[in-house]
Amino acid sequence: MVIDTLIIGLGNVGMGYDYYSRSKQIKSHSKAITSNHYFKLTGGADLDILKLNKFKKKFKVSTYLNYKKALNFLKPKLVVVATNIESHYEVLNSILKEKSVKYILCEKPITDSLNKTKKIIKKIHKSKKILFVNYIRECDKVIKNIFKKKSEIEGISNSLIQVKYYDSLYNNCSHFIIFFLKLFGHPIKIENIKLIRKNNKRINFSIDFNLIFKKNNVVSFNAINKKKDKIPYEIYFKLRKKKIKFSYGSKKIIIKNLNKKKIINTQMSLAQKNVLDFIRDYIEKKKHFPVKVNDALIVEKILDKIINKI
């Protein structure tokens, strides 16, 4: 079986991250699809004619300024939604009208408002199409395996954990919120909310806040002004017997235990490959996809609460 796939949105994650790269990294949907024999890239859609020309030149497939025409002509089975967040609701509504589409991979968050997300989830359930939400760290088996080992996270209760994020609450910080939801469950409280940077749109705000979980675990989220490659760490655990740090981009996890230091390379350089592999396993073997739609919805409920308290 080969899954015909359409990409809507040809920005960085759609195409740009790997376009000129000669490395083995797979950080864009275009490279992930063309590197996996289970999927066939049949076309791309974007409002930018220059991006369309670059896409067509590299991948030799159909391109469309109008994504609705792409859906109608190509009849894809999988659609990747990599447009800006504000357009997700409209794009997803159009996809749901196409009978050929069975699967949707949508960049996180699902939409730019909680009400829209709730509406579109109801429509997706009714359509019986399958929605995958793209939280890449949840598809990194190295990261997940570390936190499955009791020996690695001994003493995690009653911990103060710090997160430093470089981009907006919705775009970058949401990755870390879902990480701790999967690790600790639903937070009990949201405290110490402080607006750090106010941009044109609420979804682009940068905000400091704390999530309080059971067992007295407090996760402190801080929006910083440094360039992203100058961030000292993304996540810092100070446990009873060790310290754990996630490096920028979560490419490495550093574990210090007394005088010992262990550096673990994650699979983040293959982020979109990992996601697509999980989708393949879901379709072929009905294996669990790491992020349930309800997980993504809970993240958006938390984001909405934080924004509304500003």
Looking at the structure, do residues 221 and 150 belong to the same domain, yes or no?
yes
Which residues lie across from 291 on neighbouring strands? none
Nearest to 178 by CA among 17, 13, 301: 301
Cis preceding-peptide flag for 76 (omega within 30 of 0): no
Whether residue 309 lies inside any domain: the answer is no
CATH number at residue 215: 3.30.360.10
Please indicate, yes or no, if residue 68 is contained in any of the structural domains.
Answer: yes
25 and 115 fall within a common domain: yes
pLDDT in tens, the chain (310 residues): 899 999 999 999 999 999 998 889 999 999 999 999 999 999 999 999 999 999 999 999 999 999 999 999 999 999 999 999 999 999 999 999 999 999 999 999 999 999 999 999 999 999 999 999 999 999 999 999 988 765 566 556 666 799 999 889 999 999 999 999 999 999 999 999 999 988 888 889 999 999 999 888 899 999 998 776 678 899 999 887 788 999 988 999 999 987 889 999 999 999 999 999 999 999 998 889 999 999 999 999 999 999 999 8
Asked whether residue 303 is assigned to any structural domain, the reply reads: no
Total number of domains constituting the chain: 2
187 and 170 in a single domain? The answer is yes
Nearest by Cα to 293 from 118, 137, 148: 118
Are 146 and 261 contained in the same domain?
A: yes
Interior/surface letters 2-29, b for 16+ CB within 10 angstroms, e for the rest: ebbbbbbbbbebbbbbbbeeeeebbbbb
Q: Is the same domain home to 123 and 199?
A: no
Same domain, residue pair 19 and 81: yes
Task: Identify whether residues 155 and 261 lie together within a single domain.
Answer: yes
Q: Is residue 175 part of a domain?
A: yes
- The answer to the question of residue 27 being in a domain is yes
Instruction: Give the burial class of 74: count Cβ atoms within 10 A of its Cβ; 0-12 exposed, 13-18 middle, 19 or more buried.
Output: buried
Question: What's the pLDDT score for residue 155?
Answer: 58
Looking at the fold, whether 157 and 280 belong to one and the same domain comes out as: no
Any residues with CB less than 8 A from the CB of 310 and at least 6 apart, and which?
A: 193, 195, 205, 207
What domain range includes position 280? Answer: 3-136+271-291
Q: Is 302 domain-assigned?
A: no
* Structural domain includes residue 131: yes
The answer to whether residues 123 and 163 belong to one domain is no
Phi and psi angles of residue 200, each rounded to the nearest 5 degrees, phi first: -60, -35
| pTM summary value | 0.94
Q: Which amino acid is at 81?
A: V
Within 13 Å of residue 141, how many CA atoms lie on the same side as its CB? 7
Q: Are residues 23 and 124 in the same domain?
A: yes
Q: Are residues 192 and 91 in the same domain?
A: no
Same-domain check for residues 130 and 145: no
Q: Phi/psi zone of residue 9: left (φ > 0), alpha (ψ -120 to 50 degrees), beta?
A: left
Closest by CA position to 10, among listed 111, 81, 94: 81
Q: How many other β-carbons are positioned within 10 Å of the β-carbon of residue 201?
A: 13
- Residue 299 inside a domain? The answer is no
Q: Give the CATH number of the domain where residue 90 resides.
A: 3.40.50.720
Radius of gyration of the chain (CA): 20
